[in-house]
C-alpha cells in the first residue's frame, strides 16, 4: 500500500509542485490550505507523513505540529517535515520543539525532499511492518591510511547517508581518542558527554552507553571522543570492542572512525568490525602505507574481504590513476568517492556535513552510492526474508 502524505501549504503553486513530485514517486497525496484544515485532515485521513509549511492561515505550522503531537499522546508517531523560508536557527529550534522531525528551507531540491521522506517513513514505520527486517548490528571501522585523506569526512557523511537516505538506525563513534574531530565537524561543544563517561563508570551496560550518546540534528547518534588528549588514556584496548558490541544490539550500523595508529586499541576495533574500510588517496606515500596495512591484516589472519579500500578524491589529478594504484597494490580498489574540494571544505568549516545540507551535490551523490554499496548485504537479506 502506498504511503499517504498530507501536504499543508497555502500557495497553490507549491501544492501543485509537491503533489506532482510525490505522485510521481507513487505516494498518495492529501492537500490542506490552512492550519485548521490540516489538523482536521490529519484526524480523518490518518496520513503516514506530514509536509507542513510554517506560515499558514488560521493556525501556523508550529501550532499544527503541537496539536498533532498532543493528539497522538503516546500512540503511533506520524513524522512531520517543516517547510520554511526562514534560515535562522531560532526558527528551526522552534519547529523541532513543536514536534517536527525534520525541516527543509525553501527552495529545496525535490531529490532531497524525497530522500528525507523515505528516511522518516522507514524510521517511523509501524512495528509490524518491520518484522520481516533481519537484525543488522553491523560494526564498520573507518581507518585512514595516513592523515588528511578524509577518513572522518567519509565516516560522518556515510553515517548520515545510511540514516537519512536509507532509513537505517546508525551510531557513529569517534575512535580517534586523543584528537577526535567529530565535535568540530558537527559543531558540538566540549560540554557534551563522551566515551570517558562510559569507561569511568563503575559498570558498563546498555543504559549507561545510551545515556552518554549525543543526538545530532541529522538523526544519527554519536559517541564522542574524550574532550582532551590526556583523558584519552582512560580508554583501554578492551573498552571500544565492548562498547561496540553493546551498540550493535541497539543499532543497524555502528561506524567507528579511528586514527592511523596500529596499536592495541585499533587492533581491537579491527577484531570487532565486520569490515574495515581503509580510506586512501592516490599518492605514493599513501600507497606505501596501504600495502603495509594489507600485509598486517593478512598476518593477523583476516580474510581479504574484511579489508575494503576506499579511494577518496578519486578524480583529483595526482599523476597516479586508479589502474596504476591497483597495479601497485596488486588488488582492486573497492570503492571510489569523487573530489569536490570546495563543498567538502565548506562543510568542515561550517560544522554542517554535506550529506545533511547538500545531499544533492556531486560529492553527496558519490557518498550515497558508497553507502548503498555498504548497505547492499543488509538490503539483500531484508529482501530474502520478505520473500520467505
State the pLDDT at residue 112. Answer: 87
- 225: which 3 cell numbers? 571522543
Cβ neighbours of residue 88 under 8 Å, at least 6 residues apart? none
The pLDDT confidence band at residue 29, using thresholds 50, 70 and 90, is very high
343 has a pLDDT exceeding 80 = no
Q: What does the pLDDT average to over 64-71?
A: 92
Q: How far apart are CA 281 and CA 273, in angstroms?
A: 22
At residue 258's C-alpha, the angle toward residues 200 and 204, to 5°, is 25
User: Which pLDDT tens digit goes with each residue over 278-307?
Assistant: 999 999 999 999 999 999 999 999 999 999
Give the residue among 52, 3, 48, 2 at the shortest CA–CA distance from 32. Answer: 52
**Domain 138-387: top CATH class:** alpha beta
Q: At what angle do helices 341-350 and 362-387 cross, to 10 degrees?
A: 80
Q: How far apart are CA 352 and CA 157, in angstroms?
A: 10
At residue 215's C-alpha, the angle toward residues 213 and 221, to 5°, is 65
State the pLDDT at residue 134. Answer: 45
The pLDDT confidence band at residue 191, using thresholds 50, 70 and 90, is confident
Rg (CA), the chain: 22
Q: How far apart are CA 119 and CA 137, in angstroms?
A: 18
User: Which pLDDT tens digit goes with each residue over 101-111?
Assistant: 998 988 888 88
- In Å, how far are 98, 152, 264, 365 from 146, measured between CA atoms? 44, 12, 18, 25
State the pLDDT at residue 81. Answer: 95
Q: Domain extents for the chain? A: 4-130, 138-387
pTM: 0.66
State the pLDDT at residue 381. Answer: 52
How many Cβ atoms are within 10 Å of 234's Cβ, its own excluded?
Answer: 14
- The answer as to CATH 3.40.50.2300 being correct for domain 4-130 is yes
State the pLDDT at residue 356. Answer: 84
Q: What does the pLDDT average to over 21-48?
A: 91
357 has a pLDDT exceeding 90 = no
204 has a pLDDT exceeding 70 = yes
Can you tell me whether residue 286 is helix, strand or coil? helix
324-345 as b/e: b if 16+ CB within 10 A: ebeeeeeeebbbbbbbbeebbe
Which of 21-30, 122-131, 215-224 is the least confident region? 122-131
131 has a pLDDT exceeding 50 = no
Percentage of the chain lying above the pLDDT 70 cut: 93
Amino acid at each position: 500500500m502506498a504511503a499517504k502524505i498530507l501536504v499543508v501549504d497555502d500557495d497553490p503553486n507549491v501544492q501543485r509542485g509537491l503533489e506532482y513530485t510525490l505522485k510521481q514517486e507513487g505516494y498518495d497525496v492529501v492537500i490542506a490550505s490552512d492550519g485548521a484544515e490540516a489538523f482536521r485532515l490529519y484526524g480523518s485521513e490518518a496520513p503516514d507523513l506530514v509536509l507542513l509549511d510554517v506560515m499558514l492561515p488560521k493556525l501556523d505550522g508550529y501550532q499544527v505540529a503541537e496539536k498533532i503531537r498532543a493528539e497522538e499522546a503516546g500512540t503511533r508517531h506520524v513524522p512531520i517535515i517543516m517547510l520554511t523560508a526562514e534560515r535562522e536557527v531560532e526558527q528551526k529550534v522552534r519547529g523541532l520543539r513543536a514536534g517536527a522531525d525534520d525541516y527543509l528551507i525553501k527552495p529545496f531540491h525535490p531529490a532531497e525532499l524525497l530522500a528525507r521522506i523515505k528516511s522518516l517513513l522507514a524510521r517511523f514505520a509501524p512495528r509490524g511492518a518491520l518484522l520481516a527486517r533481519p537484525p543488522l548490528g553491523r560494526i564498520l571501522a573507518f581507518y585512514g591510511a595516513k592523515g588528511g585523506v578524509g577518513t572522518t569526512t567519509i565516516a560522518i557523511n556515510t553515517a548520515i547517508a545510511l540514516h537519512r537516505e536509507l532509513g537505517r538506525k546508525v551510531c557513529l563513534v569517534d575512535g580517534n581518542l586523543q584528537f577526535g574531530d567529530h565535535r568540530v565537524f558537527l559543531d558540538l561543544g566540549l560540554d557534551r558527554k563522551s566515551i570517558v563517561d562510559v569507561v569511568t563508570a563503575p559498570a558498563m551496560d546498555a543504559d549507561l552507553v545510551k545515556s552518554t550518546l549525543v543526538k545530532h540534528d541529522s538523526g544519527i547518534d554519536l559517541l564522542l571522543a574524550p574532550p582532551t588528549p590526556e583523558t584519552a588514556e582512560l580508554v583501554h584496548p578492551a573498552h571500544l570492542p565492548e562498547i561496540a558490541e553493546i551498540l550493535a544490539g541497539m543499532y543497524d550500523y555502528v561506524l567507528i572512525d579511528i586514527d592511523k595508529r596500529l596499536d592495541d586499541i585499533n587492533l581491537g576495533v579491527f577484531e570487532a568490525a565486520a569490515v574495515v574500510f581503509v580510506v586512501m588517496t592516490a599518492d605514493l606515500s599513501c600507497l606505501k602505507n596501504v600495502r603495509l596495512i594489507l600485509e598486517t591484516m593478512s598476518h593477523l589472519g583476516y580474510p581479504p574481504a574484511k579489508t575494503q579500500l576506499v579511494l577518496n578524491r578519486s578524480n583529483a589529478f595526482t599523476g597516479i590513476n586508479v589502474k596504476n594504484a591497483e597495479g601497485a597494490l596488486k588488488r582492486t580498489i573497492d570503492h571510489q568517492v569523487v573530489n569536490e574540494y570546495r563543498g567538502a571544505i565548506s562543510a568542515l568549516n561550517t560544522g554542517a556535513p554535506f550529506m545533511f545540507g547538500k545531499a544533492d551535490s556531486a560529492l553527496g551523490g558519490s557518498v550515497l552510492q558508497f553507502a548503498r554499496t555498504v548497505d547492499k548485504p543488509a538490503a539483500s537479506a531484508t529482501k530474502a526474508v520478505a520473500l520467505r
